[in-house]
Chains A and B, each alone.
Chain A
Amino acid sequence: MKTQILTALKFFLAMTILTGIIYPLLMTGVAQIAFPSQANGSLILKDGKIIGSELIGQKFDSTIYFWSRPSAISYNPIPSGASNFGPTSKALKKQVDDRRIAFATSNSIVDNGTIPPEMIFASASGLDPHISPKAALMQVDRIVKARQFDTEKQQQILNVITKLSEGPQFSFFGDERINVLDLNLELDRLNKK
């Protein structure tokens, strides 16, 4: 009995050191050497300042930018989260109806039913960095107008969308998507040209 208790304590200590200290420290070391950018949050710098992370979505609601998805936490990552509204939620129905109208009106869309679902539903993390390429294409006319671009620049935006669109990873995994922050960074670059 007494030896069993002593063994339990010593074994717990051994496991704590092995899996709670050595393992995470070792992994941090390996990660920092092998993948320093990813391990530190895939940060994006502009003029020496951190403007965000490649993986963490940002709120875009200005007419001059591609909009990101609705977010239950307004893209404030502390903490991440979703609406958790159920499929018969009155509150969700109202949100979705409002978003449908808002997106259709701002982007001059005639048929509400063609809006890609990710633009009217909030994501799971509240930080989804992607939208579908289709949702990006729907916003081009609005952005061209807001930025007073000519047809040449409009074509350049379309080229950027093609360039940044990601198909399924390794041709199989996941859905088509485009990173909104990357897209908007390219937009700002176009403006300077």
Chain B
Amino acid sequence: MNEAIQLIIFLVALVLLAPILGKFMAKVFMGENHLLKPVFGWLERSVYRVSGIKSEVEMNWKTYLFGILLFNFIGMVFLFLLQIFQVWLPLNTEHLPNVSWHLAFNTAVSFMTNTNWQSYSGENTLSYLVQMLGLTVQNFVSAATGIAVVLALIRGLTRKTTDELGNFWTDMTRTVVYVLLPLSILFTIILVGQGTVQTFSHYITATTLQGVHQVIPLGPAASQIAIKDLGTNGGGFFNANSAHPFENPTPFSNFLIMLALIIISAGLVFTYGHYAKSKRQAWAIFITMLILFAGGLALSLWAEYSQNNVLNIAGNMEGKETRFGVMNSILYSVTTTVTSNGSVNCMHDSLSPLSGLVAMFNLMLGEIIFGGVGSGLYGMIIFVFITVFIAGLMVGRTPEFLGKKVEAFEIKMAILAVLAPSIVIKLFSAIACTIPAGLAGLNNAGPHGLSEILYAFSSAAGNNGSAFAGLNTNTVFYNLMMGFGMLIGRFGVIIPVMAIAGNMARKKITPESAGTFKTDNWLFVLLLIGIILIIGGLTFFPPLALGPIVEHFLMNLGVTY
């Protein structure tokens, strides 16, 4: 009963808060007056002045894209250097050695692409300086990058006969100054109140009641954790991520974190509605996402509460924390995988096979069910394009979206954006399954071993960052393969999306006629859900059948590996 109440509170909070935040963000990005402008306006102007940004000068899609690539490249190089030189830099209180080149590459790519896959454990790998000056910064700017891309796309869809898609630097600045930073400040304070640490002191050695020495790690954790959750980043300050009592101390902090994972991505759907001057368009996409989310959640909850015939128990607690219990662990696992956040409060490797499948399938769909901040919405709009295209084929009419013709170029780009991550998942997993370097890292045998590899590359390609964490990926092979996978998963989508934005912006808007296929009603919602599931299902059913699905049946028979 208590479980049901918590679930309802979560869903109600989501549905109520998302439109409010969405409206606020629309005002921010359109440069209108809003609540925080008097408070942080000076900061926005200072950033422009310091960086020499002419905030009102707009860019075409190529200039905008060049800004994205350039800025992300600089951030990646800086983060890489910080890690491989951390011994000689300040704030290395525990005298941690320099990070290996391949781990540093993986981590730099990982945080720059908003993935936050971690082949390392924070406690014994990275200094306080790398965590704050490197990782915290990328947590902010990679999230802002995703939002900037979706803003360019939205402008491309809603403006007509123009080349202008906004100013990349302005969009980044406004996102950080008015959205991410204020929310992070508020959230940090709440987290510390619940028990999350925020200090620059050394680790502490305690002598336990049983007389053993226990080293207690500390650090400026809360400030990083706040943005890690809000920006769909997900990289934990500590190895156990949101399961660690210092990252997520109480059930209440857990509730707020789950809300933080999803709220900006959900809000952006309504921001889009404001740009398109159509609340119905926004609600159609929001409801599509909500239905896919709820469906996955229902299956995952059912699977986890079902009997495990190997362990002779229903609702086991392996890899789960007492303060959260089964329900909050599953709700978290579904929320973090739909949103491309990737932080975890339970170990996904130990979930029941079908709960693991739901998490994995969420990643494979390309992180479009709410998805990453910005990236979720542009990924979903790609599927909207494919849906109107297929609907157009069925009735023999040129497809339209928001009054603009969707033509061959857009569909080619859309397919490219769907294929790029899918290829990473299937091809890279296949390689890892066939060579010793790929199999060396496995923690589980049988079908679950395949699931570990499949999950890792799905996580990389979807820029999620969660893991079936038994797989040891801190090897040259995995660090490089995962690094390239994350790059393709991120920019293999961003580049086609920007090309679509540029091309759509140039088009005329034709008035709606009786023959227009509407994209804001239930028929469209159902069609969109169908297309997403068919594309995802056709692409990934074979490997899923060999992994989690066969494991489910073997578990029912009591087979072990």
Does chain A have a CB within 8 A of B416? no
Query: Quick one: CB contact mask for A1-45 with B, threshold 8 Å, 1 for yes?
Result: 001111111111111101111011011101110110011111100
Count of A-B residue pairs with CB < 8 Å:
366
Question: Which B residues touch A92, using CB under 8 A?
Answer: 311, 318, 350
Question: Which A residues touch B254, using CB under 8 A?
Answer: 173-174
Expressed in whole angstroms, the Cα–Cα distance for A125 and B352 within the complex equals 18
Given A14-B47, A117-B316, A177-B323, CB of A7 within 8 Å of CB of B208? no
Question: Which B residues touch A173, using CB under 8 A?
Answer: 6, 250-252, 254-255
- Please, how many residues of chain B have a CB less than 8 angstroms from a CB on the other chain? 124
Question: Which B residues touch A7, using CB under 8 A?
Answer: 51-53, 169
Contact of B121 among A81, A175, A185 (CB under 8 A): A81
Question: Which A residues touch B240, using CB under 8 A?
Answer: 79-82, 124-127
Question: Which A residues touch B63, using CB under 8 A?
Answer: 4
Contact of B206 among A52, A55, A86, A88 (CB under 8 A): A52
Asked if A122 contacts B318 (CB within 8 A), the reply is yes
With both beta carbons as reference points, the residue of chain A lying nearest to B49 in the complex is identified as: A14
Asked if A14 contacts B51 (CB within 8 A), the reply is yes
Asked if B200 contacts A6 (CB within 8 A), the reply is no
Question: Which B residues touch A15, using CB under 8 A?
Answer: 47, 137, 140-141, 172, 176
Asked if A38 contacts B245 (CB within 8 A), the reply is no
Does chain A have a CB within 8 A of B324? yes
Does chain A have a CB within 8 A of B561? yes
Expressed in whole angstroms, the Cα–Cα distance for A92 and B349 within the complex equals 12
Asked if B323 contacts A170 (CB within 8 A), the reply is no
Interface window among A58-66, A102-110, A139-147, A149-157: A58-66
Does chain A have a CB within 8 A of B234? no
Asked if B198 contacts A32 (CB within 8 A), the reply is yes
Does chain A have a CB within 8 A of B519? no
Q: Among the interface residues B51, B218, B316, B470, which one has the most CB atoms of the partner chain A within 10 A?
A: B51
Question: Which A residues touch B446, using CB under 8 A?
Answer: 88
Question: Which A residues touch B67, using CB under 8 A?
Answer: 4, 8
Asked if A20 contacts B133 (CB within 8 A), the reply is yes
Question: Which A residues touch B328, using CB under 8 A?
Answer: 174-175
Asked if B319 contacts A122 (CB within 8 A), the reply is yes
Interface window among B22-30, B184-192, B382-390: B184-192
Does chain A have a CB within 8 A of B9? yes
Expressed in whole angstroms, the Cα–Cα distance for A84 and B217 within the complex equals 22
Given A56-B245, A169-B250, CB of A69 within 8 Å of CB of B322? yes
Query: Quick one: CB contact mask for B127-146 with A, threshold 8 Å, 1 for yes?
Result: 00000111011011100000
Query: Quick one: CB contact mask for B304-345 with A, threshold 8 Å, 1 for yes?
Result: 000010110101111111111100110000000000000011
Does chain A have a CB within 8 A of B434? no
Contact of B192 among A13, A23, A39 (CB under 8 A): A39
Does chain A have a CB within 8 A of B409? no
Q: Among the interface residues B67, B139, B173, B209, which one has the most CB atoms of the partner chain A within 10 A?
A: B209
Given A19-B176, A51-B206, A173-B6, CB of A77 within 8 Å of CB of B136? no
Expressed in whole angstroms, the Cα–Cα distance for A12 and B50 within the complex equals 11
- Please, how many residues of chain A have a CB less than 8 angstroms from a CB on the other chain? 96
With both beta carbons as reference points, the residue of chain B lying nearest to A44 in the complex is identified as: B206
Contact of B136 among A23, A28, A82, A120 (CB under 8 A): A23
Query: Quick one: CB contact mask for B167-197 with A, threshold 8 Å, 1 for yes?
Result: 0010011001000010011001100111111
Query: Quick one: CB contact mask for A74-95 with B, threshold 8 Å, 1 for yes?
Result: 0111111111111111101100
Asked if B321 contacts A128 (CB within 8 A), the reply is yes
Expressed in whole angstroms, the Cα–Cα distance for A27 and B223 within the complex equals 6
Expressed in whole angstroms, the Cα–Cα distance for A174 and B251 within the complex equals 5
Question: Which A residues touch B172, using CB under 8 A?
Answer: 11, 15
Asked if B349 contacts A60 (CB within 8 A), the reply is no
Question: Which A residues touch B447, using CB under 8 A?
Answer: 88
Please give the residue numbers on chain B whose beta carbons come within 8 Å of chain A beta carbons, in ascending order: 2, 5-6, 9, 43, 47, 50-53, 63, 66-67, 70-71, 74-75, 78, 121-124, 132-134, 136-137, 139-141, 169, 172-173, 176, 181, 184-185, 188-189, 192-201, 203-210, 212, 214-218, 220, 222-224, 227, 238-240, 243-246, 249-252, 254-255, 308, 310-311, 313, 315-325, 328-329, 344-347, 349-353, 356, 443-448, 451, 468-470, 551, 554-555, 559-561
Beyond the given pairs A41-B216, A60-B209, 16 more chain A to chain B contacts, judged by CB atoms under 8 angstroms and listed by A's residue number, are A8-B71, A8-B74, A11-B169, A11-B173, A28-B198, A49-B207, A52-B209, A56-B245, A56-B246, A77-B216, A78-B124, A82-B319, A84-B444, A86-B353, A88-B551, A123-B320
